[in-house]
Amino acid sequence: MRTVVCAEPGYMVLEERDPPRCGKGEALLRIRRIGVCGTDIHAYGGNQPYFSYPRVLGHELAGEIIEVGSEGDPKLIGQRAYVIPYLHCGQCRACRTGHSNCCKRIQVIGVHRDGGMCDTLAVPLDHLVVSETLELDQLALVECMAIGAHAVRRSGLGQGELAVVTGAGPIGMGVAQFARERGARVVVVDTNPERLAFCREKLDIELTLNPNEDDIDAALKAMSDDELADVVFDATGSPAAMQAGFDLVGQAGRYVLVSIVKADISFHDPDLHRKEMTLLASRNATRADFDQVTRLMESGRLRVDAMITHRAELADVPERMPTWCAPATGVVKAMIEINDTSQQSISGALS
């Protein structure tokens, strides 16, 4: 089968590998869609923690089940499904207390182990979710949206509170939509005018602010009787922006770091104590978050299709990846497609 390997930072190559076998408790997924996210871009750029090379990227995955192992239901064959890529041990304290998203021995598909930039992938059956309603593009975006769902749930955001989302990438767009689902007032902050326009026009975010043009502090104080934000979510992937976000949090407010960077983030301790600020990290997502995203997506309450701005076939990824990483390209979400023609040779090999 075809496999795209990130051999080292800045270098991808298309290889031929043997297709995987379907083990006990597993299913073979014919990959049809692969969303490219910030984790992939950071890994390609050499800036992703928890990472080693060479690695097959890809964890936003959707496809068709083509085989099930000895414990699987044959009725699953032929159904569309998405992948929950966080493989947890089930035994550590985090897992035992319902925090499988930060399992001590977590193995994330496409990060700690080879991922889905390939034609076929073996996946544990309990990490596949079938939907008869969602299309392949939508299925591939569930994981991305689950990150935002988890961050908002973790924040305890309430109706009427002022939520500020810094970073208008796909994760930030997901956070903004789930914050709105909670009944919060939502402000999106970014330095990219095109991203801000996208949030207003495609996602109906009423207020967006650009720190290069707007007085963020004054705008937030005007919305909050001089109290600033109840909750700030950082989805920038920028250490400087993450550090600046502390100043946007009001008294007794919460600051949720959704981004992860290979850097130290510091804060002024007296300010943290003066506000009695709560600082939270948000990592991955749980099954409850995936279930919420699936329900809302199936009901049409989440706007995800417009986020896909660029597409490529699997074989073209090594050539396209450098351009997708360039801000000037204007990528919101790139989607890798594996079409029926490219799958014909695989079907013959498996039969």
Kindly report, residue by residue over 122-134, the tens digit of the pLDDT.
999 999 999 999 9
Does position 351 have pLDDT exceeding 70, yes or no? no
Tokens 């379907």 belong to 22
Per the CATH hierarchy, to which homologous superfamily does domain 2-130+304-350 belong?
A: Medium-chain alcohol dehydrogenases, catalytic domain (3.90.180.10)
**Predicted TM-score (pTM) of this structure:** 0.93
Least confident of 67-76, 136-145, 264-273: 67-76
Span 79-97, pLDDT tens digits? 999 999 999 999 999 999 9
For 226-243, the pLDDT digits (tens) are 999 999 999 999 999 999
What single letter denotes the amino acid at residue 88? H
- Tokens found for residue 310: 């660029």
Instruction: Tell me the pLDDT of the chain averaged across its residues.
Output: 94
Mean of pLDDT values over 284-293:
97
Give the CA-trace dihedral at 316, 317, 318, 320, to 10 degrees: 90
Q: Could you give the CA distance from residue 336 to residue 317 in angstroms, rounded to a whole number?
A: 8
Q: Is the predicted pLDDT of residue 335 greater than 60, yes or no?
A: yes
Residue with tokens 């939502």: 186
The tens digit of pLDDT for each residue in 165-217 reads: 999 999 999 999 999 999 999 999 999 999 999 999 999 998 999 999 999 99
d(CA 308, CA 315): 19
Q: What is the CATH number of domain 147-281?
A: 3.40.50.720
pLDDT (0 to 100) of residue 340: 72
The reported pLDDT for the residue numbered 231 is 98
Q: Taking a C-beta distance cutoff of 8 angstroms, is the pair 195, 171 a contact?
A: no
Q: Would you list the DSSP string of 218-286? A: HHHHHHTTT--EEEEEE----HHHHHHGGGGEEEEEEEEE----SS-----HHHHHHHT-EEEE--S--
Domain segments of the chain as ranges: 2-130+304-350, 147-281
Task: Name beta bridge partners: 280.
Answer: 256
Distance, in Å, from the CA atom of 263 to the CA atom of 44, rounded to the nearest integer, reads 17
